[in-house]
Amino acid sequence: MSDRVTPSSDATPQLVDSHCHLDFPDFEGELGDVVARAVEAGVSRMVTICTKMGNVPQVRSIAESHAPVFWAAGLHPMSVADQPPVTVEDLVALAAHPKFVGIGETGLDYHYTADSAEAQKDSLRIHIDAARETGLPLIIHARAADEDMAQILREGYANGPYSCVMHCFSSSAELARAALDLGFYLSMSGIAAFPKSGELRAIFAEASLDRILVETDSPYLAPPPHRGRRNEPSYTALTAQVGADIFGISLAEFAAATSANFDRLFSKAAQWQGGV
> Which pLDDT belongs to residue 75?
98
pTM for this predicted structure = 0.94
Nearest Cα to Cα of residue 193 among 216, 219, 176, 165: 216
Distance CA 171, CA 173 (A): 7
Question: Does residue 9 lie in a domain region?
Answer: no
Distance CA 14, CA 255 (A): 6
**What domain count does the chain have?**
1
Summarised one tens digit per residue, pLDDT across range 256-276 is: 999 999 999 999 999 998 866
**Percentage of the chain modeled with pLDDT above 90:** 95
Cβ atoms within 10 Å of 143's Cβ, excluding its own = 18
Question: Does residue 10 lie in a domain region?
Answer: no
Summarised one tens digit per residue, pLDDT across range 215-240 is: 999 999 999 999 999 999 999 999 99
Question: Does residue 6 lie in a domain region?
Answer: no
Amino acid (1-letter code) at residue 98: P
Question: Does residue 5 lie in a domain region?
Answer: no
> Which pLDDT belongs to residue 1?
37
Question: Does residue 8 lie in a domain region?
Answer: no
Summarised one tens digit per residue, pLDDT across range 138-190 is: 999 999 999 999 999 999 999 999 999 999 999 999 999 999 999 999 999 99
Domain containing residue 232:
15-271
Question: Does residue 54 lie in a domain region?
Answer: yes
Provide the pLDDT confidence category of residue 3 given band limits of 50, 70 and 90: very low
Q: Is the pLDDT of residue 2 over 60?
A: no
Q: Is the pLDDT of residue 39 over 50?
A: yes
Contact 132, 160 (CB under 8 A): yes
The CATH number of the domain where 120 resides is what?
Answer: 3.20.20.140
Distance CA 176, CA 183 (A): 11
Contact 239, 246 (CB under 8 A): no
Contact 192, 236 (CB under 8 A): no
Question: Does residue 1 lie in a domain region?
Answer: no
Average pLDDT for 14-34: 97
